[in-house]
Structure 1
Amino acid sequence: MEGVLQFKDYHVLETHYMFNPFLDEEEERLSPRFEYSLDFPEEENKKLAFIKLGITIGDENLIKNSFFVSATILGVFSIKSKEELDEEEIHSFYKINAVAILFPYLRSLVSDLTGKGSEPPIIIPTINVVELIKKYEEEKRIEKEAQK
């Protein structure tokens, strides 16, 4: 049985890991920042989509945290449906389901990347993808309004 949303492939676009062994933080405050984007190579035909999913954890200057990790992956998805889907349904399939499919790949990438050094790996907990997307879109809306 074939589903409506088809996961074609994924690619690692960017990884970055830095560690400062001289910063001795008792308990580091971690606040992962996620981002995602949805792009269509052919705007009029939304049967193929690229979902970019990224995460940043830590302090890039290695002052507030002893490490910094950033990773971005790109998923390639398509929709196969015998019935006609409206634009809202198509966006929902890509936005919610595709991000939920990609998230474990991003978690694994961060764990693999950070586990190669002398420190224990960073293991990102599972998350509610719907809430993650709502939060991200709300932050983007607030940023946009602040720029006006």
Structure 2
Amino acid sequence: MTDENQNAAADNANNGSDTPQPPRMQILAQFVRDLSFENIVAQKGLNGSDVKPEIAVQVSLDARKRSVENQYEVIAKFRVSSKNSNDDSNLFLCELDYGGVFHVAGVPEEQLHPFLMIECPRMLFPFIRRIISDTTRDGGFPPVNLDPVDFVALYRQEIARRAQAERPANAPVS
């Protein structure tokens, strides 16, 4: 068999309906849906001395199918707040809704939801991290460099929370 015939045979084998296609993901677009930063220290005219900041980060995720085949929109919502541990007063609040439009193909239907809620936010996270860091720095505070988010654990917590919410109040706990 010549090289040309071997390549044609390999192409035919790869295009056959019997061979499963590997999962494919492509980021088509990224965007800031909403960004808010409130410098409460400056608004209230507070003295910057005697401040011991505590940072709290809340993350939530949302995904939806778009009208185009194999396209999904994933939104990661980050809420970063800082309080003074001395008197529990608020220092700043940064809220970011960051989205991505993804083309996802080759993912089995039963694995699509976890894929969208784990892999897609994982691809967006470096951009989210930079935006929050730049925003807090530009707002007059040291830049907040977010620790990596464990999107697998976040997904599992949400599934457990939903299961708990769906369980009848008088059902036995296993």
Shorter chain as denominator, the TM-score bin is 0.7 to 0.9
Choose between structure 1 and 2 for higher RCO, CA contacts under 8 A separated by at least 6 residues. Answer: 1
Seen in structure 2, the aligned counterparts of structure 1 residues 87 and 138 have a Cα distance that, compared at 3 Å, is same
Paired residues of 2:133 and 2:144 also in contact (CA < 8 A): yes
Q: Aligned-pair distance for 1:58?
A: 1.4
| Residue in 2 that maps onto 1:49 | 72
Q: Tell me: CA distance 1:137–1:111, structure 2 relative to 1, closer, same or farther (3 Å).
A: farther
Give the equivalent residue in structure 2 for 1:99.
Answer: 121
Contact 1:54 1:70 in 2 (8 A): yes
Letter in 2 for 1:115: R
Shift in Å, 1:108: 1.0
User: Structure 1 pair 89/141, CA: closer, same or farther in 2 (3 Å)?
Assistant: closer
Tell me if the contact between 2:72 and 2:103 (Cα under 8 Å) persists in the aligned partners: yes
The 8 Å contact of residues 58 and 68 in structure 1, kept in 2 or not, is answered as yes
1:65-144 mapped onto 2 (5 Å cutoff): 65-81=90-106, 85-139=107-161, 144=165
Cα 1:51–1:128 change in 2 (3 A) is same
For 1:139 and 1:29, the matched residues in 2 are separated by: 26
Match of 2:65 in 1: 40
Does the 8 Å contact 1:35/1:136 carry over to 2?
Answer: no
Identity of aligned residues (%): 18
TM-score (normalised: structure 1): 0.77
Deviation at residue 106 of structure 1 after TM alignment: 1.1
Q: How many residues align?
A: 138
- Residue ranges of structure 1 left out of the alignment (5+ in a row): none
Cα 1:135/1:56, change in 2 over 3 Å: same
1:115 and 1:122 in contact (8 A); partners too = yes
After superposition, the Cα gap between the structure-2 partners of 1:41 and 1:23, relative to the gap in structure 1 and judged at 3 Å, is farther
Cα distance, 1:73 vs structure 2: 0.8
State the match for 1:20 in structure 2. Answer: 40
Using the alignment, how far apart are the partners of 1:66 and 1:29 within structure 2? Answer: 9
Q: Which residue of 2 aligns with 1:58?
A: 81
More helix by share: 2
SS in 1 for 2:63: strand
Is the contact between residue 117 and residue 151 of structure 2 (CA under 8 Å) also seen in structure 1?
no
Give me the whole-angstrom Cα distance separating, in 1, the residues matched to 2:163 and 2:126.
26
Q: Structure 2 unaligned runs (5+)?
A: 1-21, 83-87, 170-174
The answer to whether the Cα contact below 8 Å between 1:54 and 1:106 also exists between their aligned partners in 2 is no
**RMSD, matched Cα:** 2.9
